[in-house]
Amino acid sequence: MLKINDLHVSVENTAILKGVNLEVKAGEVHAIMGLNGAGKSTLANTIAGRDDYTVTSGTVDFFGKNIFDLEPHERVGEGLFLGFQYPVEIPGVSNLNFLRTALNSIRKYRGQDDMSAADFMKLIRAKADQLGMAPDMLKRFVNVGFSGGEKKRNEMVQMAVLDPKFAILDETDSGLDIDALKTVAAGINAQRRDDTAILLITHYQRLLNYVQPDVVHVMIGGKIVKSGGKELAAELEEKGYAEVA
Choose among Mg ion, ligand ATP, other proteins, none what residue 16 binds, the Cβ cut-off being 5 to 8 Å by kind: ligand ATP
Instruction: Give the separation between CA 61 and CA 67, rounded to whole angstroms.
Output: 6
Instruction: Give the separation between CA 188 and CA 180, rounded to whole angstroms.
Output: 12
Spacing of C-alpha 178 from chain mean position: 20
Choose among other proteins, ligand ATP, Mg ion, none what residue 116 binds, the Cβ cut-off being 5 to 8 Å by kind: none
Selected binder of Mg ion within 20, 41, 103, 180 (CB under 5 A): 41
Selected binder of ligand ATP within 11, 55, 137, 220 (CB under 6 A): 11
Using CB under 6 A as the binding rule, the residues of this chain from 18 to 47 that contact ligand ATP are 34, 36-42
Selected binder of ligand ATP within 51, 52, 194, 195 (CB under 6 A): 52
Using CB under 6 A as the binding rule, the residues of this chain from 74 to 113 that contact ligand ATP are 85
- Strand positions, DSSP E, the chain: 2-11, 14-24, 29-34, 54-62, 65-66, 80-83, 90-94, 141-142, 166-170, 197-201, 215-220, 223-228
91 vs 231, beta carbon nearer other proteins: 91
Binding site for Mg ion (CB under 5 A): 40-41, 85
